[in-house]
């Protein structure tokens, strides 16, 4: 099978936010280069993500090298053990508790600081506050360290991109974050409810065999997965609110609000591309993918597949989002989806309560990054009553 004839090299192709659009429409499984495949249509993406021979673990994966063994880069029983460690902090009961006692204060704090403000730095200065507040609390990290964790964590998104950007900075940041997590574990701040305590308790109670360093890597991965995804998506929420031509008051209704959030998730999934590997020779949609190939799975392409979503690039709050997969599918599907949706619903509720209008006042129509993607280079004004 010949590689896709394209005006772009794989590297320049993949650096474009909507790279899947540049590929021929006659197949959903594309050979981009030797040992490099891309999967784009909705059915093909779902098949690839659930495929038993398409694996997450690979010795050359930058995230595995940087973080050490962790949930995102494991398969089979090892992966299930990591998931079992995280389950207690993301249970429905715990989320109900966060919804009642934790998230409302964080959401009010954010909306207090943006009400009446026009900013061109929403993502850098504001979007992270609620997600970092939530995940630091879950991890038992002292609130005074939130900004430091934020500064160190944000560049790590590059480790999940393809082609990856592994630098001295990303390695130094991982080392420093693991040190801080260990330090917090020993401090007063990490109470009995902290993620680390919980992980260790679950490990010992369920007899899961994981080393202390694997426990720390799990905590760090949880931190990255729970903060930068949500920060990126909160930027997309605000952007769509600011560009939409509708009465904000409509979003007071919980069902309308949740449908609106689902449509933003369909159009702006923060994880646009997932990197996997062929564990053996296999086929996806009948196309042969040789063993050891990298397989780039386009969540963005799946969510804008015209065979499933009419006028897929159009924002349409009335449409069914069935088949939209912003949280992926299969063994690695996001365990934080329910927490994330709770967070977003409370934030939008507070924004429409406090603001008469949210307006994008300047827009260069630019998108940032593959792993934690969001609109960038725009200004937004939060007008109050
Ligand atoms: C907009 C918000 C979010 C989106 C769109 C999202 C999306 C995703 C996706 C697509 C994956 C699969 C990645 C892969 O297979 O390589 C994933 C994994 C994961 N997410 Fe989320 N996520 C969000 C928020 C959260 C939150 C709030 C948490 C926890 C507090 C979280 C924790 C995780 C973890 C631990 C994994 C790894 C699961 C595994 O490998 O088995 N995520 N997420």
Atom of ligand 1 nearest to the CA of 49: 15
Tell me, yes or no, whether 5 lies in a domain: no
**Residue 3 included in any domain:** no
Between the ranges 147-161, 164-178, 226-240, where is the mean pLDDT highest?
226-240
Query: Residue 96 belongs to what domain range?
Result: 10-384
Q: Is the pLDDT of residue 159 over 80?
A: yes
Token representation of residue 86: 């995280």
Report the pLDDT value the prediction gives residue 89, as an integer from 0 to 100: 87
Query: Could you identify the atom of ligand 1 that is nearest to the CA of residue 74?
Result: 40
270: CB partners within 8 A, 6+ apart? 228, 229, 230, 232, 233, 236, 326, 371, 372, 373, 374
Residue 190 lies in a domain: yes
Residue 4, domain member (yes or no): no
* Of the listed ranges 10-14, 59-63, 174-178, the one predicted with least confidence: 59-63
Instruction: Give start and end residues of each alpha helix (H) in 187-278.
Output: 195-206, 212-243, 254-267
Closest CA to 277 of 84, 79, 81, 74: 74
pLDDT value of residue 285: 97
Q: How many domains does the chain have?
A: 1
CB 247 within 8 A of CB 357: no
82-118: per-residue pLDDT in tens? 898 888 889 999 999 999 999 999 999 999 999 999 9
Asked if pLDDT for residue 5 goes beyond 80, the answer is no
Cα-to-centroid distance, 181 and ligand 1 (Å): 20
The answer, yes or no, to whether residue 208 has pLDDT greater than 90, is no
262: domain CATH number is 1.10.630.10
Q: 3-class DSSP state for residue 273?
A: strand
Give CA separation, 311 vs 3, 42, 293, 305, 317, in Å: 29, 15, 33, 9, 13
Q: Is the CB of 274 under 6 A from ligand 1?
A: yes
Residue 265 in any domain: the answer is yes
Cα–Cα distance list, 372 to 123, 273, 340, 344, 367 (Å): 12, 9, 14, 16, 10
- Regarding pTM above 0.85, the answer is yes
The one-character DSSP state at 32 is E
Give 21-53 pLDDT, tens digit per residue: 999 999 999 999 999 999 999 999 999 999 999
In this structure, of 188-202, 222-236, 251-265, the range with the lowest mean pLDDT score is 188-202
Beta strands 282-284 and 29-33 are: unpaired
Q: Tell which wins on pLDDT, 141 or 324.
A: 324
User: Three-state SS for 209?
Assistant: coil
Q: Whole-number mean pLDDT of the chain? A: 91
Tokens of 66: 């940087």
Higher model confidence: residue 66 or residue 100?
A: 100
Which amino acid residue places its CA nearest to atom 21 of ligand 1?
334
For residues 18 and 36, give the distance between their C-alpha atoms in angstroms, rounded to a whole number. Answer: 18
Instruction: Report the separation in Å between the CA atom of 371 and the middle of ligand 1, taken as the mean of its atom positions.
Output: 11
175: Cα within 13 Å, side-chain hemisphere: 6
Rounded CA-CA distance 108/354 in Å is 10
Within a domain: residue 157? yes
Decide: helix, strand or coil at residue 348: helix
Ligand 1 contacts CB of residue 229 (under 6 A): yes
What DSSP designation does 57 have?
A: -
DSSP 88: G
Rounded CA gap, 223 and 149, in Å? 9
Instruction: Give the model confidence (pLDDT) of 328-375 as tens digits.
Output: 999 999 999 999 999 999 999 999 999 999 999 999 999 986 679 999
- pLDDT tens across 258-292, in order? 999 999 999 999 999 999 999 999 999 999 999 99
């Amino acid at each position: 099978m010949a590689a896709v004839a394209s005006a772009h090299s794989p590297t320049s192709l993949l650096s474009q936010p909507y790279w899947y659009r540049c590929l021929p429409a006659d197949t959903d499984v594309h050979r981009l280069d030797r040992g490099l495949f891309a999967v784009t249509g909705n059915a093909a993406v779902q098949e690839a993500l659930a495929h038993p021979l398409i694996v997450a673990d690979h010795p050359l994966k930058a995230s595995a090298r940087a973080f050490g063994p962790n949930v995102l880069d494991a398969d089979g029983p090892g992966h299930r053990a990591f998931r079992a460690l995280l389950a207690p902090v993301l249970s429905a009961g715990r989320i109900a508790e966060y919804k009642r006692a934790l998230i409302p204060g964080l959401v009010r704090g954010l909306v207090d600081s943006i009400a009446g403000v026009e900013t061109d730095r929403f993502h850098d200065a504001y979007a992270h506050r609620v997600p970092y507040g939530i995940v630091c609390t879950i991890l038992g990290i002292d609130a005074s360290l939130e900004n430091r964790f934020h500064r160190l964590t944000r560049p790590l998104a590059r480790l999940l991109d393809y082609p990856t950007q592994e630098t001295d900075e990303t390695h130094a940041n991982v080392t420093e974050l693991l040190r801080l997590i260990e330090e917090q574990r020993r401090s007063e701040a990490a109470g009995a409810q902290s993620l680390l305590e919980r992980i260790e308790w679950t490990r010992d109670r369920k007899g899961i065999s994981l080393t202390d360093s694997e426990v720390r890597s799990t905590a760090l991965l949880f931190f990255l997965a729970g903060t930068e995804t949500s920060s990126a998506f909160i930027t997309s929420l605000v952007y769509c609110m600011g560009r939409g031509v509708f009465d904000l008051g409509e979003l007071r209704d919980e069902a309308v609000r949740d449908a609106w959030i689902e449509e933003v998730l369909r159009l702006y999934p923060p994880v646009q591309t997932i990197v996997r590997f062929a564990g053996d020779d296999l086929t996806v949609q009948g196309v042969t993918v040789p063993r050891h190939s990298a397989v780039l799975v386009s969540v963005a392409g799946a969510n804008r597949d015209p065979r499933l979503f009419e006028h897929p690039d159009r924002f349409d709050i009335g449409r069914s989002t069935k088949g939209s997969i912003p949280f992926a599918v299969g063994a690695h599907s996001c365990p934080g989806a329910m927490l994330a949706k709770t967070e977003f619903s409370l934030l939008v509720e507070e924004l429409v309560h406090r603001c008469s209008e949210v307006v994008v006042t300047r827009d260069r129509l630019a998108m940032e990054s593959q792993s934690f993607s969001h609109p960038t280079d725009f200004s937004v004004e939060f007008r109050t009553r």
